[in-house]
Structure 1
Amino acid sequence: MWLSGKYFEETGGAIGGQALEDGIRILEARAVNKGPLCEPFIRVGHQSGRLYLDLCHDDWSAVEITAAGWTVIEKPAVKLMRSTAMRALMRPEPGGLIEELRQFVNASDEDFMMVVAWLVAALRHHGPYPILVLNGEQGSGKSFFSRMLRSLVDPSAAPIRAAPKDDRDLVVSAGNSWLLVFDNLSVMMPWLSDALCRLATGSGFATRMLHTDNAEAIFEAARPIILNGIPSLTDRPDLADRALTIHLKTIPEDARRPEDELEAEFEAARPRIISALCDAVSAALRNVSTVRLERSPRMADFVKWITAAESGLGWEAGDFMAAYNTNRRDVSETVFEADSVAVAIRSFMANEHPTAAGWEGTPTELLGELNNRVTEGVRKSRSWPMTAQALGNRIDRIAPLLRAKGFTVERMRSTVRTIRIVAPSV
């Protein structure tokens, strides 16, 4: 478009198709062979200890966040890319407090802290990022809340979307947006759960380029993600380990308000809320190098970043970690109870082998013991392992859940492969 426009300005005519293609190839060759190599960013960039938040305004202004504070500048030092779906982010107004967001979050105080923590993490230039999962009954405002959260970080022409059909759709969305929001999920397919885990932590995706036989398209980046739905979406342990699960309260009819009124109030508060988030990111940049965690949980980078941001949010030291541990326990309990094999092993060990000697045997023997203790409906369900190999793979997946309950789980791979399980001491 730029080349066609310049040609029209100089000649008053339209450039031919072949001449346009030749001109583009020449420009590409000059850029590759003689131009400087720059790292491009979408929405959030980074250079020399500074973060840049693209406002997507016509003047290419951005918020520059440093350890000393933040300011809005024109023409930031980093190269920012924009897709056609990206929309302008409100210019932050200094002096905002994160408490202004509280009135729009119909959840507990602990869950509110997790929402704020996720927003602060989403403004970091690299992952891994926790996946924010919004659960709630019909009428709890999940979709509206998802759109609201996105507007604080990465406004879009299509703020919430249906779940992708395959890896290629997911990669295309990630390549054109900083933040992904998937709305009204009714089920979490195993392939989607695995793909979201890879995307949240920054694993690469490779797929064949269209209209080619052997050329690969590589996508390697991490993205903040929001999921919402009525059923539990974190039944798979890998996804649960990376998730912050928020339970939105049902809004009674006598307390329900029109969305246009809520939107007007939120729009008025949005510049100040964004300002408060920028203050928190500045505090994180200032303190992150001095933070020392007593122990490193699964999302240790995220925990360290938010711990460093606590002073910028007005939180007391340790407030976030206490709320995060509560959230992790709730998620772990939910995932455990949703896994039929984990529940069956707990029942088997409690009733038959409660002593410190535990139980040891082959996967085939364990499958026989468990089959005798579950109903026919459970045995015929898709989630129940049909073979010893499937049971062994399942135990590898649920071992963290069992250990969190105090079980000892060991798999010995010698001439005869065995499993040893010891129940927690009472």
Structure 2
Amino acid sequence: MSDDEKSPARQVITDYAQSHFRYFRTVDGTVYAQRTGHPVARPIRSQGTTGSHRQELMVGLFRDGVGVFNGTALKEALDLIEALALTERVQPTHIRVAPGFDGATWLDLGRDDGRSVRIHPTGWDIRIPDPEEVCWRRTQLTGELPLPAKDTNGKGIDLLMRLCNFADAKTEALAIAWLIGCLEPSVPVPAPFLTGPQGAGKSTGGRMLVRIIEGMTGDLRRAPKDEENMITAVAAGWITALDNLSHLPPDLSDLMCCIITGAESIKRALFTDGDVVRSRYRRPMLLTGIDVGVIRPDLAERLLTLRLERPRVRRTEAELWAEYAEILPVVLGSLLDLTVKVRAVQAETPTDLRMADFAHLCAQLDTVTGFGTLEAYRAGLDDLNDDVIEGDLLAQTVLKHAAELAPGEEVRMTSAEWLHALTALYSGEECRPLPKGWPTTGKVLSDRLRRIQPTLAARGVLVDWGRTSAARYIELSRQAPPPPPEQQPAF
């Protein structure tokens, strides 16, 4: 064959790539490559240590006897493939958990063969998902999970709780509810805060919960120093677990709220003047610590307190983790069995809680097991409200003022008048000096009241804002106590 009849190297590479891989783009324009029949997708521009598509293509060309090509030919071929892929339909990629067809969800086991778990209200099974249904994206944080065991009769849950040091059965029920919530990609779940005395095994318990979903390589980490590093860590895995927190600065608290319920960040794309990179994220979180100090009200509504106690008998790390690795297939199988049962039942959705989806999940779990999970969740939120009030002198002062009102009584004043009244009430006759951070203007007071409004409402004190023809006002009132339940006539 003459040189004129030979196909250019870029054409050979392009033909091979299109016959062995499927190319598509995500909503942000990133082009991914997916080997035919395999659910794992790799961005074609990635040079990551988890394996790039360029490396995957070079190995395939060599092993199939097509040839070895220089970098210029590969670059030209990939440029053409990327341009062609931008005309294809948009499909999302997922890390660890993904929605599927017909109400199913998928759990990536992190295996090279692509086998995953399909979870449906009618049951769960292990199979390789159709690439048109699920595209997995993997990073260095994507660990491998064992194949879950079938027909466990729920014993895996008991084995897990025997290794953890949870304080009571209600705490165990909340931990189980959170694990089930982590298997649902479209529902936000509150962040468990594992707390207890020193030596209670908070970090170990956190690792055990995380590794049920993330595999034995899943671990806890220190809180990143800035928002960019935090978002990078969140985007690379499914569960973000922060260990040994001693305080929660306002910026970190606000960022956690965004991660738990979902948000988006935008930054300039590298080596461009005006292009941007969008990062959308909503991830389960887990925290450990003895005391994080003052908790802001918006984060308190997104937390799930799990209390641990010191074990009576200590075991070595080697013994503990050897047993954990042995029971992990049974634990995962039992969790999947319970998840199927929970999704198959109907339960009333509580309408008075911020995390309504998780509250509904707790109600479903109670329907299946009778654990009393929803009651425990409400009690935990009530305790967190107490913590918020104890750390907020303004909230304490407002409650003190409201205690003087009759049930149902309403008081309207401007923000400046409220500031004067509350300041006088706090200072008292002894004229106590105002604490650091006390509102200095009516506008600051109004903003602070908006932040603590849910906490005050949980204590029966309602705060509302309105306007008359003369000025804006803030209204404070005490809820009337609920009427006693009607007595059933005795027969």
- SS in structure 2 of the partner of residue 372 of structure 1: helix
How far off is 1:294 after superposition? Answer: 5.3
Asked whether 1:72 is paired with 2:113, we answer no
Contact 2:194 / 2:288 at 8 angstroms: preserved in 1? Answer: yes
Taking the aligned partners of 1:82 and 1:167, their CA distance within structure 2 comes to 22
- SS in structure 2 of the partner of residue 140 of structure 1: coil
Corresponding residue for residue 384 of structure 2: 331
Corresponding residue for residue 366 of structure 1: 418
CA RMSD of aligned residues (A): 2.5
Aligned residues: 415
Kindly provide the CA deviation profile for residues 26-75 of structure 1, in whole angstroms up to 9, marking residues without a partner as x.
22223232x55433211112211222111111211111112221111235
Contact 1:127 / 1:200 at 8 angstroms: preserved in 2? Answer: no
Kindly provide the CA deviation profile for residues 351-383 of structure 1, in whole angstroms up to 9, marking residues without a partner as x.
x5557545432222222233334468873424x
Taking the aligned partners of 1:188 and 1:378, their CA distance within structure 2 comes to 26
Give the one of 76, 99, 105 matched to 2:164: 105
Corresponding residue for residue 460 of structure 2: 406
Taking the aligned partners of 2:384 and 2:129, their CA distance within structure 1 comes to 43
Kindly provide the CA deviation profile for residues 368-420 of structure 1, in whole angstroms up to 9, marking residues without a partner as x.
233334468873424x2232211110001111111111113222234322222
Taking the aligned partners of 2:84 and 2:217, their CA distance within structure 1 comes to 34
- SS in structure 1 of the partner of residue 369 of structure 2: coil
Corresponding residue for residue 255 of structure 1: 313
Corresponding residue for residue 44 of structure 2: none
- SS in structure 1 of the partner of residue 465 of structure 2: strand
Cα pair distance change 1:179/1:233, threshold 3 Å: farther
Partner amino acid, structure 1, of 2:434 = R
Taking the aligned partners of 1:177 and 1:130, their CA distance within structure 2 comes to 17
Give the one of 133, 143, 153 matched to 2:203: 143
Contact 2:106 / 2:116 at 8 angstroms: preserved in 1? Answer: yes
| Residue pairs, 1:1-400, within 5 angstroms | 1-9=55-63, 10=65, 13=68, 15-33=69-87, 35=88, 37-48=90-101, 49-76=103-130, 77-96=133-152, 97=154, 98-106=157-165, 107-155=167-215, 157=217, 159-232=219-292, 235-251=295-311, 255-287=313-345, 290-293=346-349, 295-310=351-366, 315-316=369-370, 319-350=372-403, 353=405, 357-374=409-426, 379-382=434-437, 384-400=438-454
- SS in structure 1 of the partner of residue 185 of structure 2: coil
Larger Rg: 2
How far off is 1:12 after superposition? Answer: 6.3
- SS in structure 1 of the partner of residue 382 of structure 2: helix
The one of the two structures with greater contact order (alpha-carbon pairs below 8 A, sep at least 6) is 1
The unaligned stretches of length 5 or more in structure 2 are 1-54, 482-491
Cα pair distance change 1:266/1:398, threshold 3 Å: same
TM-score by length of structure 1 reads 0.89
Taking the aligned partners of 1:194 and 1:255, their CA distance within structure 2 comes to 39
Please state which structure has a larger fraction of its residues in helix.
1
Taking the aligned partners of 2:98 and 2:305, their CA distance within structure 1 comes to 27
Partner amino acid, structure 2, of 1:381 = K
- SS in structure 2 of the partner of residue 284 of structure 1: helix
Cα pair distance change 1:37/1:214, threshold 3 Å: closer
Identity of aligned residues (%): 30
Corresponding residue for residue 416 of structure 1: 471
Taking the aligned partners of 1:326 and 1:237, their CA distance within structure 2 comes to 16
Contact 2:245 / 2:292 at 8 angstroms: preserved in 1? Answer: no
Taking the aligned partners of 2:263 and 2:187, their CA distance within structure 1 comes to 10
The unaligned stretches of length 5 or more in structure 1 are none
- Judge which range, 2-11 or 328-337, deviates more: 2-11
Taking the aligned partners of 1:129 and 1:391, their CA distance within structure 2 comes to 31
Taking the aligned partners of 1:349 and 1:294, their CA distance within structure 2 comes to 27
How far off is 1:18 after superposition? Answer: 3.1
Contact 1:93 / 1:272 at 8 angstroms: preserved in 2? Answer: yes
- SS in structure 1 of the partner of residue 150 of structure 2: coil
Taking the aligned partners of 2:286 and 2:192, their CA distance within structure 1 comes to 5
Partner amino acid, structure 2, of 1:416 = A
Partner amino acid, structure 2, of 1:193 = S
- Judge which range, 172-181 or 291-300, deviates more: 291-300
Kindly provide the CA deviation profile for residues 146-179 of structure 1, in whole angstroms up to 9, marking residues without a partner as x.
1111100123746211112333222212221011
Taking the aligned partners of 2:339 and 2:433, their CA distance within structure 1 comes to 48
Contact 2:348 / 2:363 at 8 angstroms: preserved in 1? Answer: no
Taking the aligned partners of 2:227 and 2:268, their CA distance within structure 1 comes to 11
Partner amino acid, structure 2, of 1:364 = A
